[in-house]
Amino acid sequence: MSGAEGFERGEYGEPGGRRRRRRRRGDRRGPRSWTQLLPHLFTTGNLAAGFYAIVKAMDGDFDRAALAIVVCGVCDNLDGRLARMSGSSSRFGVEYDSIADAVSFGVAPAIIAFTAGGLHDLGWTGWVLAFMYTACAALRLARFNVSPARWKGRFEGLPSPAAAGMVAASVWFFGFLRESGLPLELPSVMPGLGAAALGLLMVSPIPYRSFKEVPVHGRYRATVLMVIAFAVILSKPSVTLFLIGLGYAASGPAEWWWRWRTGRTLEEVGPALPAEPNRGAAG
Instruction: Find the CATH number of the domain harbouring 48.
Output: 1.20.120
In the chain, how long is the greatest CA-to-CA distance? Answer: 93
Domain count, the chain: 1
Domain enclosing residue 52, as ranges: 28-262
pLDDT tens figures, 218-228:
566 667 777 88
Q: Is 217 part of any domain?
A: yes
Q: Is 271 part of any domain?
A: no
Out of 3-12, 161-170, 180-189, 224-233, which region has the weakest mean confidence (pLDDT)?
A: 3-12
Q: Is 18 part of any domain?
A: no
Q: Is 10 part of any domain?
A: no
Q: Please give the backbone phi and psi of residue 60, each rounded to the nearest 5 degrees, phi first.
A: 90, 5
The proportion of the chain whose per-residue pLDDT surpasses 90, expressed as a percent, equals: 48
Q: pLDDT band at residue 275, thresholds of 50, 70 and 90?
A: very low
Count of alpha carbons within 13 angstroms of residue 34, beta-carbon side: 3
Q: Is 68 part of any domain?
A: yes
Whether the pLDDT of residue 57 is over 70: the answer is yes
Q: Is 278 part of any domain?
A: no
Q: Is 6 part of any domain?
A: no
Q: Is 194 part of any domain?
A: yes
Out of 107-121, 180-194, 206-220, 225-239, which region has the weakest mean confidence (pLDDT)?
A: 206-220
